[in-house]
């Protein structure tokens, strides 16, 4: 049965209160630095029945060590090894980062893993080759892989990569149109709404109505703006009122 799943990028309230109102969360901590297995086990155990986790892949897979998010996470890269991290490099470090991401996803019983790339990850021949090598050489399990490219990517290139690598193209549907790979046949969509520059935009009723129109079939709708909790609840109410 298809449904629209609504949540926030991170617990925007206490976990208990959040899970009483929303049944989906995208874990952000895994992007900065994966939590301990015991921590993930506790999150899963505390979540009510029917609650779903998705998560962002560790930044060591997608981002270079020069990214400020490494400093924010307190990650220390060994001297001389900087070129082994990020941009889907075919390196031991990147594949180990994938292993840790996968392990946490399994503990959380997550269906979806999001690979968010920085704007500096451009469609160069090397980057595309690295993507192809990465996604064809990891143990994918039964996960749905979602890819959020940023920067100047041509739709035709995105479409080809999504088709070849079985990726779902993630966008903010109020700003751009998604290009889907093979997963479209299952009706899977994954939207992340960032609230514009500074994450400060509160979505209007008209915008939520437009979002509802674009969220047919099975859709994951994640809010990532300052007012994400309130906007998510309003969008959930809109969906329920239209049933």
Q: Based on C-alpha coordinates, what's the Rg of the chain?
A: 17
- Provide long-range contacts, Cβ within 8 A and 24+ apart, for 161-168: 161/128, 161/131, 161/132, 164/132, 165/131, 165/132, 165/135, 165/136, 166/135, 166/140, 167/115, 167/135, 168/144
- Percentages of the chain per state (helix, strand, coil), in multiples of 5: 45, 15, 40
| 205: nearest Cα among 187, 226, 231, 180 | 231
Please report the pLDDT score of residue 1 as a whole number: 44
**Separation CA 107–CA 109 (nearest Å):** 5
pLDDT at 24: 98
Q: Which fold has domain 4-241?
A: TIM Barrel (3.20.20)
Quick one: pLDDT at residue 182? 53
Entry pTM: 0.95
Spatial strand order of the sheet with 167-169 comes to 167-169, 144-148, 112-116, 52-56, 24-27, 4-9, 218-223, 188-193
Helices (H), the chain: 15-21, 29-32, 37-46, 59-62, 68-73, 92-108, 125-137, 155-165, 205-213, 228-241
Q: Tell me what pLDDT residue 216 has.
A: 74
- Pairing between β-strand 52-56 and β-strand 112-116 as defined by DSSP bridges: parallel
Q: Which residues contact 92 (CB under 8 A, 6 or more apart)?
A: 84
Question: Considering only CA atoms, which of 146, 147, 61, 143 is closest in space to residue 110?
Answer: 143
Task: Identify the segments of the chain with pLDDT beneath 50.
Answer: 1
């Amino acid at each position: 049965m298809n449904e629209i799943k609504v949540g926030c990028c991170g617990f925007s309230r206490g976990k208990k209160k959040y899970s009483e109102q929303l049944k989906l969360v995208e874990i952000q901590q895994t992007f900065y630095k994966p939590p301990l297995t015991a921590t993930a086990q506790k999150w899963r155990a505390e979540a009510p029945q029917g609650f779903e986790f998705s998560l962002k892949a560790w930044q060591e897979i997608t981002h270079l060590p020069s990214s400020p998010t490494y400093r924010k996470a307190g990650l220390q890269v060994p001297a001389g090894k900087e070129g082994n991290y990020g941009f889907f490099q075919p390196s031991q470090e990147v594949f180990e980062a994938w292993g840790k991401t996968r392990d946490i996803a399994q503990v959380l019983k997550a269906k979806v893993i999001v690979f968010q790339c920085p704007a500096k990850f451009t469609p160069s021949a090397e980057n595309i080759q690295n993507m192809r090598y990465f996604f064809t050489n990891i143990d994918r399990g039964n996960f749905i892989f979602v890819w959020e490219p940023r920067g100047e990517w041509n739709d035709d290139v995105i479409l080809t990569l999504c088709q070849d690598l079985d990726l779902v193209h993630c966008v903010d549907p109020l700003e751009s149109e998604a290009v889907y790979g093979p997963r479209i046949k299952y009706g899977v969509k994954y939207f992340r709404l960032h609230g514009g520059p500074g994450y400060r935009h509160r979505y209007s009723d008209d915008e939520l109505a437009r979002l509802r129109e674009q969220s047919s079939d099975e859709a994951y709708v994640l809010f990532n703006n300052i007012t994400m909790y309130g906007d998510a609840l309003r969008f959930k109410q809109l969906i329920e009122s239209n049933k």
